[in-house]
Amino acid sequence: MQQTPVNRVLPVYEQWLARWPRPADLAKEAPGEAVRAWGRLGYPRRALRLHGAAVAITERHNGDVPTEHAQLLALPGIGEYTAAAVASFAYGQRHAVLDTNVRRVFARAVTGVQYPPNATTAAERKLARALLPEDESTASRWAAASMELGALVCTAKNETCHRCPIAGQCAWRLAGKPEHDGPPRRGQTYAGTDRQVRGRLLAVLREAVTPVPQSALDRVWDEPVQRARALDGLVADGLVEPLPGGLYRLPTAESTDRRPFFTAHRLPIHSPRPSKHSLARDKNPQFHPIRRPVLPRSYIRYTTDGQPSVRRRLPRTTP
């Protein structure tokens, strides 16, 4: 539920568990079904990652979610935060769980600043580990409590310090609540962005039971360059599968084959600016630099779980 309100997540969460109560149930489905069920929650790549994790759990752990932190971290799409959260909340283990809410609590209560840095730092991780109780069960409750404190009391705006159980020890409050003096905190915009275009394109594909022609996708956004860029991004992210004849659909099991492959979906690459070598050659026809590759086109390569891993370019050498 990172970056998405709980009231939006709960209905989808309940429907998801009713349809796929165990990882093996989800693993049997095509990846596109996970994207379809994800609906309008946002950040649809998480649906693909969840499907990839379900496949890995089924294949590596007989369908049981692993209990060891290292095994959780090795699953596709599972990062530092999620692995720590599952190990702590589901299995009662001692791990520092650092989400936005926890980081804000620590920044105010301990560091004395209004907001934490934009990205998690090594200093924050060190502080979180130092504050964690030694006892496993207590540490697990501590992780949940600090997260709830940030979500319900020590909020980003309109914090309710009179309800806070540690208000008397809060460094930021005792310092008079100094204003944030770091980099400006900009809220995420949505209207008119590529994210909005991607959402509209995916909405058409989610509602379709058969592959969708290009013309149907063209109708969702008037600006052709932005629309093409958004569609290219969806293909690159593995959220959309291009088919012959200008058709598109949500990804199938066949499109996330175990072997890496290149799609035929070519991305536009802008012509490079004149290099110092080309300028030197104009001045001196005898100038011949070391042969170097020119990269006129790129292709997307997918990993075994259907996620793009690298853009491979086909080089053409020139003098």
197-219 per-position pLDDT tens digit: 999 999 999 999 999 999 999 99
pLDDT on residue 50: 96
Q: Are 147 and 171 within one domain?
A: yes
Could you tell me if residue 287 is inside a domain? yes
CA distance 233 to 199: 12
pLDDT (tens, 9 = 90+) of the chain, 319 residues, equals 566 778 899 999 999 999 999 999 999 999 999 999 999 998 999 999 999 999 999 999 999 999 999 999 999 999 999 999 999 999 999 999 999 999 999 999 999 999 999 999 999 999 999 999 999 999 999 999 999 999 999 999 999 999 999 999 999 999 999 999 988 777 678 899 999 999 999 999 999 999 999 999 999 999 999 999 999 999 999 999 999 999 999 999 766 553 333 333 344 444 344 444 444 444 554 444 433 333 333 444 444 444 444 444 444 444 4
Could you tell me if residue 29 is inside a domain? yes
Q: Are 135 and 168 within one domain?
A: yes
Q: Which of 78, 101, 132 is the last residue of a domain?
A: 78
pLDDT on residue 2: 63
pLDDT on residue 185: 74
CA of residue 278 relative to chain centroid, distance: 40
pLDDT on residue 1: 57
Q: Are 208 and 310 within one domain?
A: yes
Residue partners of 114: CB distance under 8 A and separation at least 6: 107, 108, 172, 177, 178, 179, 180
Q: Which of 181, 216, 246 is the last residue of a domain?
A: 181
CB of 198 closer than 8 Å to CB of 234:
yes
pLDDT on residue 154: 98
Could you tell me if residue 187 is inside a domain? no
pLDDT on residue 57: 98
E-strand ranges in 120-273 read 212-213, 241-243, 247-249
Could you tell me the residue range of the domain that residue 105 belongs to?
89-181
Q: For the domain that residue 12 is a member of, what is the CATH number?
A: 1.10.340.30
What are the tens digits of pLDDT across the range 38-60? 999 989 999 999 999 999 999 99
**pTM of the predicted structure, to 2 decimals:** 0.76
pLDDT on residue 308: 47
CB of 46 closer than 8 Å to CB of 38:
yes
